[in-house]
Chains A and B, each alone.
Chain A
Amino acid sequence: MSAAENKTEAPEEQGFDGDPRSLLRSVVESNGLVVFLAVLAALVVGAVLVVFADESVQDASSYFFSRPMDTLSAAWGAITDAYVAMFQGSIYNLHADSFSGSIKPLTNSLTFSAPLIFAGLGLGVGFRAGLFNIGAQGQVILGAIMAGFVGFAFHLPFGVHLALAVIGAILGGALWGFIPGLLKATTGAHEVIVTIMLNYVGLYLLAWLLSLESWQAPGSDNPKSPRIDETAEWPSLLGDSFGLHWGFVAALLAAWGVWWLMERSTWGFTFRAVGANPSAATIAGMNVKVTYVLVMVIAGTLAGLAGGTQVLGTEKALTTGIAGSIGFDAITVALLGRSRPLGIVAAGILFGGLRASGPTLQVQAGLPIDIVLVIQSVIVLFIAAPPLVRFLFRLPDPRLVKEVTA
């Protein structure tokens, strides 16, 4: 399988060339508009599901032909309930007594976004280097295992302990990235298959570790590790009443670091060249095999940090479900963010918000969190196929627009 080479590749650099006529063109062609419309379309699909599942709509639809307005208003009610709940669960709580209560949902969203940003950044680096890394899930798990182990098994002073736990997360993730990178470089094994398989190997490894008595909380038989020491936790960012912790800031710093790496460093230049045309990169004296290994290690490092953030900042103990679906969500984050750091931060916050709204959705609108998966995947599908979005919204084809203005 030749993975990312055939991806709809955005031009490496694009700019607005100052011609006023091309302003319209760039708006119509812009990723921004497509992204906005894709989100809109996904919300519509979500609304359809909400209406379908809503009992009052089902009740009203039984007499649809006698009083159709009942069905429609019930449907409208269900949809607004759902999206109001989503808004309240992820951005601003209208019913809270205090300011801090009102913005708590937003801080929750940011907390959820931190691991998504980390792992999304890792995947983005891989995509741009032409590597289709489906293995973030396994890398997250390994990062979480190592960070968690350092967190609960060692007892060190604050600062040193956290630093060591973070290094553990990095090493765990890097190892799980190194394996497929090395196999690709030496044997040509395709990274898609190897990383998928390593996800499961990582999952069973975690399950086995948590079945060991030494990894379980004392006096408990559950597959859950002892709580990590406070010295290994990411300190909270806004005080103890909020879940938001410094891991989020670390994710933003990582985004800046990845931007520098990809856009301003010779390494990143090499990564991009290898991703876009490995053959030309070889002839230009770049070592493609070493690049593959390096990129996978960096991708694994970032995904490992995502796992570390989960353990050290959010969950504070290792469980079999520690990675949730972060690794897979991160794929959608990286795709939505077009593998660019700023885009990934924005997409990570968006999807973090969707995730954060889960409990509110359940309580206020009686909807399961799974609707978020639907919205998420529909957004990414539409974004991957701009012509489909243009077709759905009857936008002009940019190629035609070009001919007219040319």
Chain B
Amino acid sequence: MKLELRGITKKFGDFVANDRIDLSVEPGTVHALLGENGAGKSTLMNVLFGLYDADGGEVLVDDEVVHFAGPGDAMRAGIGMVHQHFMLVHPFTVAENVMLGHEQLGSNRLLDIEAARSRVLEISERFGFNVDPDALVEDLSVGAQQRVEIIKALSRDANVLILDEPTAVLTPQETDELLDIVRQLRDAGTSVVLITHKLREVKAVADTITVIRLGKVVGTAEPTASQSELATMMVGRDVTDAVDKAPAKPGDVVLEVTGLSAVNELGYTTLDDVSLEVRAGEILAVAGVQGNGQTELVEAIIGAVKATEGSVTLDGVRLLGRSIKQALNAGIGFVPEDRTTDGLVASFTIENNLVLDLIDDPRFSTRGNIDVDAIESNAKDRIAQFDVRTTSSKASAGSLSGGNQQKVVLARELSRELKLLIASQPTRGLDVGSIEFMHQQIVAERDKGVAVLIVSSELDEVVALADRIAVMYHGKIVGVVPPDTDRKTLGLMMAGAHQEEAA
């Protein structure tokens, strides 16, 4: 089946998310759609899938114009999609999830669960997925859930399979398995559209590459193109990996973590005997595939997650067992990984967000009485200093773009004397300009003598910022290595290999 998009345009208010995009997917090929976060890739696919109505353009299947009023139409036309955030009903079994929306009925007019089970088993065996049709989805690992999504699409006889950022949540090993599956699907005649911003994957598996930037197609490329060529197309200018920074001048140990362990609410170990130290004036970056305990590590340090064992000290003062507030007051600045849910109150003004964790500070309140003027003038200063693009300091934080929201969070966290700055995924989902700005600010903080702990699942960011890199896998620190360690070694360590084996 041949799929073609012609001149697709989609606007959200004044914002043009897709601007006359053309795309053609030949049968039995892997077509990579490459672009930065926010370039409009997901919007395009949601238009194709009938989830959004396009403001212009048309979709063609086998050279005939089609109109999809909803995902049901798209699926009937043979298009399947695996969303970045899985579309699985957690309390349902795998079979129920797979049958949902195109249920087979038995002779009694009720659901034919047996038919669904055997369909799951058949597809699962064909591709070696090893998925139990009777397992509840909520009990499955992320990788297994993704395979359920693929089964879901294939069970509807999808001829074109769209994978939206499929590797964001996978370990390197699972990623390789997925890429194998993609090749298998292609060889079996299914076209695959791979939406990603990861160059390595594109080069590994794509037959054709379309690059989009700021909602427009900027060109196509062959998989033989070099990574730097692709990156330049994607970003629109030469990309220098390295952040401009002087060598670190590490001072005394500020943060010391020893033997830290934690379990989650299901009783599974999330942190397993983690020890590390961060010195004043250096950046320690924690690398690892998402979900290997990094989130829990920073949350345990600031007191959002309780540790079962171990100790955390800041300048020699015990932190563990204290509240988040005490940790912040002790001199920790914290940029959480998800700014919209944890970093900001979207309905609050920018002013108020800039003092969200400082409202008890004597600068902004005395004996419980808020000083409104101080909050306002603080906002003016911060907005100017961090170049937050907004019409008014009284606009709601939710009205800002992602980059400006992250600036507000960072500006707030840098508003007090810090001993330690913790930033989790500081640039996730940001455009290149904002990323550079964030990196400069973080390095500047290091140069002021603050200890900095960065958590990032983007290896590029880790390499760019780190003075030392700690790699996490399955809740453990696999090793701490210098920033010039080659990527292959880092990649193997992220898959659990120890430094000696990896090198």
The answer to whether any beta carbons of A and B sit under 8 Å apart in the complex is yes
Contact residues in A for B325 (Cβ distance below 8 Å)? 285-287
Known: A17-B392, A286-B325. A279 touches B342 (CB 8 A): yes
Closest CB-CB distance, A394 to chain B, in whole Å? 23
Asked if B370 and A264 make an inter-chain contact with CB atoms under 8 angstroms apart, the answer reads yes
A269 to B358 alpha-carbon distance, docked (Å): 11
Q: In angstroms, how far is the closest chain B Cβ from the Cβ of A112?
A: 34
Other-chain contact of B347, A11, A17, A282 (Cβ < 8 Å): A11
* Contact B365 A266, beta carbon cutoff 8 Å: yes
* Interface residue? B433 (CB, 8 A): no
B158-188 interface mask toward A, CB cutoff 8 Å, 1 = contact, 0 = none? 0000000000000000000000000000000
Per-residue contact bits, chain B 321-344, to A (CB 8 Å; 1 contact, 0 not):
001110111000010100001111
Stretch of A173-181, A219-227, A270-278, A297-305 contacting B (4+ beta carbons < 8 Å): A270-278
Which A residues lie within 8 Å of B324 (CB)?
282-285
The size bracket of the interface on B is 20 to 34
A251-289 interface with B by 8 A CB criterion? 263-267, 269-270, 272-273, 276-277, 279-287
A13 within 8 A of B: yes
Interface status of B359 (Cβ within 8 A of chain A)? yes
What is the CA–CA distance of A276 and B341 in the complex, to the nearest angstrom? 10
A370 within 8 A of B: no
Report the minimum CB–CB distance from B422 to chain A (whole Å): 11
State whether B345 touches A277 (Cβ < 8 A): yes
A151 and B323 CA atoms in complex are apart in Å by: 44
Q: Does B124 contact A (CB under 8 A)?
A: no
Q: How far is the CA of A254 from the CA of B480 in the complex (A)?
A: 59
Q: Which of A11, A17, A266, A281 contacts B368 (CB 8 A)?
A: A266
> Cβ of B372: which chain A residues have Cβ within 8 Å of it?
264
Chain B contacts for A406, CB-based, 8 A: 14
**Interface residue ranges of A1-57 to B (CB < 8 Å):** 9, 11-13, 15, 17
Residue of B nearest to A274 (CB): B345
Q: State A277–B343 Cα separation when bound (angstroms).
A: 10
Cβ-neighbour of B345 out of A15, A17, A265, A273 (below 8 A): A273
Q: Which residue of B lies closest to A270 (CB)?
A: B359
B487 within 8 A of A: no
Which residues of B sit under 8 angstroms from A264, Cβ to Cβ? 369-370, 372
> Contacts of A281 on B, CB cut-off 8 Å?
345, 356
A338 nearest CB across to chain B (Å): 13
B315 nearest CB across to chain A (Å): 19
Say how far B100's CB is from chain A's closest CB, in angstroms.
24
Any chain A CB within 8 A of the CB of B352? yes
B360 on the interface (CB 8 Å rule)? yes
The CB with the most chain B CB atoms within 10 A, among A266, A277, A284, is that of A284
Q: Which residue of B lies closest to A11 (CB)?
A: B396
- B47-70: CB near A (< 8 Å → 1, else 0) gives 000000000000000000000000
Docked-complex contact B347 and A9, CB < 8 angstroms: yes
Task: Give the number of residue pairs across the A-B interface with Cβ within 8 Å.
Answer: 82
Q: Are A283 and B359 in contact (CB under 8 A)?
A: no
- Is B370 a contact of A269 with CB atoms below 8 Å? yes
Q: Report the Cα distance A276→B396, complex, angstroms.
A: 12
Using CB atoms, name the residue of chain A closest to B357: A284
B220 within 8 A of A: no
Cα(A11)–Cα(B365), bound, Å = 23
Contact B394 A283 (CB under 8 A): no
Q: Are B348 and A283 in contact (CB under 8 A)?
A: no
Decide if A265 touches B369 in the complex (CB within 8 Å). yes
Fill in one digit per residue for B190-226: 1 if any A CB lies within 8 Å of its CB, else 0: 0000000000000000000000000000000000000
B379 CB to nearest A CB, Å: 12
Residues of chain B with a CB closer than 8 A to A9's CB: 347
Residue contact B368 to A287, C-beta cutoff 8 Å: no
Would B359 and A266 count as touching, CB distance under 8 A? yes
CB pair B334–A283 under 8 Å, yes or no, is yes
CB-CB under 8 A from A13, the residues of chain B are 349, 394
A267 to B341, CA, bound (A): 21
Inter-chain contacts of B365 with A (CB < 8 A)? 266
Contact of A12 with B352 in the complex, beta carbons under 8 Å: yes
The answer to whether A273 touches B348, judged by C-beta atoms less than 8 angstroms apart, is yes
Instruction: Please measure, in the bound complex, the distance between the C-alpha atom of A309 and the C-alpha atom of B98, giving whole angstroms.
Output: 60
In the assembled complex, the Cα of A11 lies from the Cα of B392 at a distance in Å of 14
A12 touches B348 (CB 8 A): yes
- A12 with B368: in contact, given A280-B344, A283-B324 (CB under 8 Å)? no
Partner of B370, one of A17, A266, A277, A284: A266
Inside 8 A of A270's CB, which chain B residues have their CB? 359
| Chain B residues in 8 Å Cβ range of A286 | 325
Instruction: Give which listed residue, B323, B344, B359, contacts A269 with CB less than 8 A.
Output: B359
For residue A12, which residues in chain B have a CB less than 8 angstroms away from its CB?
347-349, 352, 396
Residue-wise interface mask of A (341-355) relative to B, using a CB-CB cutoff of 8 A (1 in contact, 0 not) = 000000000000000
Residues of A within 8 A of B432 (CB): none
Question: Please, how many angstroms separate the alpha-carbon atoms of A283 and B396 in the complex?
Answer: 19
- Name the residue of chain A whose CB is nearest to the CB of B327: A285
Q: How far is the CA of A267 from the CA of B323 in the complex (A)?
A: 18
A-contact 0/1 string along B118-141, CB 8 Å cutoff: 000000000000000000000000
Shortest distance from the beta carbon of B400 to any chain A beta carbon, whole Å: 14
Complex interface bits, B377-403 against A, C-beta within 8 A gives 1, otherwise 0: 000000000000000101010000000
B356 cross-chain contacts in A, Cβ below 8 A: 273, 280-281, 284
C-alpha spacing A12/B346, complex, angstroms = 10
User: Are B346 and A277 in contact, CB atoms less than 8 angstroms apart?
Assistant: yes
Nearest to A263 among chain B residues (CB) is: B370
A283 contacts across to B, CB distance below 8 A: 302, 304, 324, 334, 336, 342-343, 357
Contact of B346 among A267, A276, A403 (CB under 8 A): A276
CB of A339, distance to nearest CB on chain B (Å): 13
Once the chains bind, are B341 and A277 in contact (CB under 8 Å)? yes
The answer on a CB contact under 8 Å between B396 and A285 is no
Residue of A nearest to B328 (CB): A285
- Pair B394/A15 contact, Cβ less than 8 Å: yes
Name the residue in A266, A267, A281 with the highest tally of chain B Cβ atoms < 10 Å from its Cβ.
A266
Inter-chain CA distance A263–B336, complex, in Å, is: 27
Residues of A within 8 A of B396 (CB): 11-12
**Interface pairs A-B: 5 shortest CB-CB:** A285-B325, A284-B357, A277-B345, A284-B356, A283-B342
Q: List 16 A-B contacts (CB under 8 A).
A: A15-B394, A263-B370, A264-B369, A264-B370, A265-B370, A266-B369, A273-B345, A276-B345, A280-B343, A280-B344, A281-B345, A283-B334, A284-B324, A284-B356, A284-B357, A286-B325
Give 12 new A-B contacts, CB below 8 A, not counting A12-B348, A266-B370, A277-B347: A11-B347, A12-B347, A15-B394, A267-B368, A269-B352, A277-B341, A279-B341, A280-B342, A280-B343, A281-B345, A284-B357, A285-B323
